[in-house]
């Protein structure tokens, strides 16, 4: 296994594009090292991306934020302006692992590891985040929901690296929230995760919403029907009930050691209602 730590994006892309055999990127390594040690993967080349400046910065852009794919959870949590604008994204990233894991784990790694239960992904998709991708044929932009195609599978081509995520500017009275259910309080993997972002008009009616479910299908699901249950309502009891039903209806989970189908379907509704209420409270304060 070869290990490289290039300092430019071009060098990283060239290394990946020119490699024979399996390649992996090393961001925080909190998925990669576990998989290496468990002998689940045996890559020929590992490219560390932490020395590439573009992947490691948070910057304001067009009224929103551009977040490097290799920024850690701890750094996100310390960014006051980002946290104020996108509390749901930050709380999702901060849920990953423990204090120790937070010092390493990144959004890029969480997304590209392609687990259906990755915590920050529903929040990023609910936020309408766009990924900026560098590859042998230049740059492209893609909505985050288009990156993961199935467990461990992405739409990234050979040599492609996720460089950063753009979170758009926020209209007034907007906010987001992320909730997950785990049997413990920490150090666990989501049985269900729900990310919700919404915007209220001056009268308090929900004008726009995105509802995203994690861990209830082969990949994270953007559920427009669930968002429609909120749009045009005051996010009242009736709307929340319809939201829950739409969330449950969208689930297509499996029975596994982490939860039964029925359980995941029921809890998706509960978490969707609770996340919407949190996002609503936050949006009202903005």
Partner 1 sequence: MPNDVKTGSLAPDKKLKWVGTRPLRPDGVDKVTGRAKFGADFSLPGMLIGKVLRSPHPHARIKSIDTSKAEVLPGVKAVVTRDDFHDMESEFVPAGEMLVNYRDMVRNVMAREKVLYDGHAVAAVAATSNAVAKRALKLIEVDYEPLPHVIDVLEAMEPDAPLLHEDMITAGVEPAPDKPSNVAKVVEFAIGDVEAGFAQAEVIVERTFQTKPVHQAYIEPHACVASVSEDGQAELWCTTQGHYVVRGHCARLLGMDVSKIRVTASEIGGGFGGKTVVYLEPLALALSAKACRPVKMVMSRDEVFRASGPTSGAHMRIKVGATKDGRITAAEADLKYQAGAFQGSPVQPGAMCAFAPYDLENVKVVGYDVVTNRPKVAAYRAPGAPISEYAVECVIDELARKLGLDPIDFRLANAAKEGTRAAYGPKFGPIGLVETLQEAKAHPHYTAPLGPDQGRGVASGFWFNIGGETCAALNINEDGTAALMIGTPDIGGSRASLCMMAAEELGIDLDRIRPIIADTSSLGYTFLTGGSRVTFASGMATIDAAQDAVRQLCERAAKIWEIPSDAVEWEDGYAKPAGANAGDFEPMSLAEVAKVAGKTGGPIVGHAQINAQGAGPSFGTHIVDVEVDRETGRVTVVRYTVVQDAGKAVHPAYVEGQYQGGAVQGIGWALNEEYIYGEDGRLENPGFLDYRIPVASDVPMIDTVIVEVPNPRHPYGVRGVGETPIVPPMAAITNALADALGIRFTELPMSPPKVLEAIGEAAAGG
Ligand X SMILES: Cc1cc2nc3c(=O)[nH]c(=O)nc-3n(C[C@H](O)[C@H](O)[C@H](O)COP(=O)(O)OP(=O)(O)OC[C@H]3O[C@@H](n4cnc5c(N)ncnc54)[C@H](O)[C@@H]3O)c2cc1C
Residues that bind ligand X (CB under 6 A): 24-32, 34, 49, 69, 95-97, 101, 104-106, 108-110, 112-113, 118-119, 161-162, 187
Which partner in partner 1, ligand X, none is near 69 (CB below 5 to 8 A by kind)? Answer: ligand X
**Binding footprint of partner 1 on the chain (CB under 8 A):** 38-39, 181, 183-189, 191, 257-260, 262-263, 266-267, 270
Beta partners for residue 166, in sequence order: 66, 130
**Residue 185: CB atoms within 10 Å:** 6
DSSP 108-173: HHHHHTT-TT-SHHHHHHHTT-EEEEEETTEEEEEEGGGTEEETTEESPPTT-EEEEEEEPPPPSS
Q: 231 vs 249, which CB is nearer to partner 1?
A: 249
3-state DSSP assignment of residue 15: helix
Q: 87 vs 159, which CB is nearer to ligand X?
A: 159
CB of 199 to ligand X, least distance (A): 26
Which partner in ligand X, partner 1, none is near 5 (CB below 5 to 8 A by kind)? Answer: none
CB of 63 to ligand X, least distance (A): 24
**Residue 113: CB atoms within 10 Å:** 20
Q: 88 vs 259, which CB is nearer to partner 1?
A: 259
The Cα 16–Cα 159 span in angstroms is 5
Q: 110 vs 130, which CB is nearer to ligand X?
A: 110
Contacts of 203 (CB under 8 A, 6+ apart): none
Which partner in ligand X, partner 1, none is near 165 (CB below 5 to 8 A by kind)? Answer: none
Which partner in partner 1, ligand X, none is near 109 (CB below 5 to 8 A by kind)? Answer: ligand X
Q: 8 vs 260, which CB is nearer to partner 1?
A: 260
Contacts of 33 (CB under 8 A, 6+ apart): none
CB of 37 to partner 1, least distance (A): 8
Give the strand order in the sheet containing 45-48: 2-4, 45-48, 23-26
Of all residues in the shown chain, the one whose CB is closest to ligand X is 109
């Amino acid at each position: 296994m070869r290990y490289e730590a290039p300092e430019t994006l071009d060098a990283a892309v060239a290394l990946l594009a020119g490699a024979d055999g399996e390649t992996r990127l090393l961001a925080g390594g909190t998925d990669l090292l576990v998989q290496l040690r468990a002998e689940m993967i045996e890559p020929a080349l590992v490219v560390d991306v932490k020395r590439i400046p573009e992947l490691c910065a948070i910057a304001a852009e067009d009224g929103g934020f551009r977040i490097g794919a290799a920024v850690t959870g701890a750094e996100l949590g310390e960014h006051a302006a980002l946290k104020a604008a996108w509390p749901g994204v930050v709380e999702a990233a901060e849920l990953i692992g423990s204090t120790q894991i937070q010092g390493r784990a990144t959004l890029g790694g969480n997304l590209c590891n392609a687990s259906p239960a990755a915590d920050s992904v529903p929040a990023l998709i609910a936020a309408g985040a766009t990924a900026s991708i560098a590859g042998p044929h230049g740059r492209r932009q893609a909505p985050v929901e288009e990156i993961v195609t199935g467990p461990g599978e992405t739409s990234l081509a050979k040599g492609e690296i996720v460089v950063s995520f753009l979170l758009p500017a926020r209209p007034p009275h907007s906010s987001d929230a992320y909730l997950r259910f785990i049997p413990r309080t920490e150090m666990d993997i989501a049985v269900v995760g729900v990310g919700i972002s919404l915007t209220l008009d001056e009268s308090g009616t929900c004008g726009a919403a995105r509802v995203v479910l994690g861990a209830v299908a082969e990949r994270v699901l953007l559920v427009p029907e669930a968002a429609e249950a909120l749009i045009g309502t005051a996010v009242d009891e009736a709307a929340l009930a319809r939201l829950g039903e739409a969330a449950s209806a969208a689930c297509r989970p499996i029975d596994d050691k982490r939860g039964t189908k029925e359980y995941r379907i029921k809890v998706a509704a509960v978490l969707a209602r609770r996340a919407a209420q949190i996002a609503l409270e936050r949006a009202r304060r903005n």
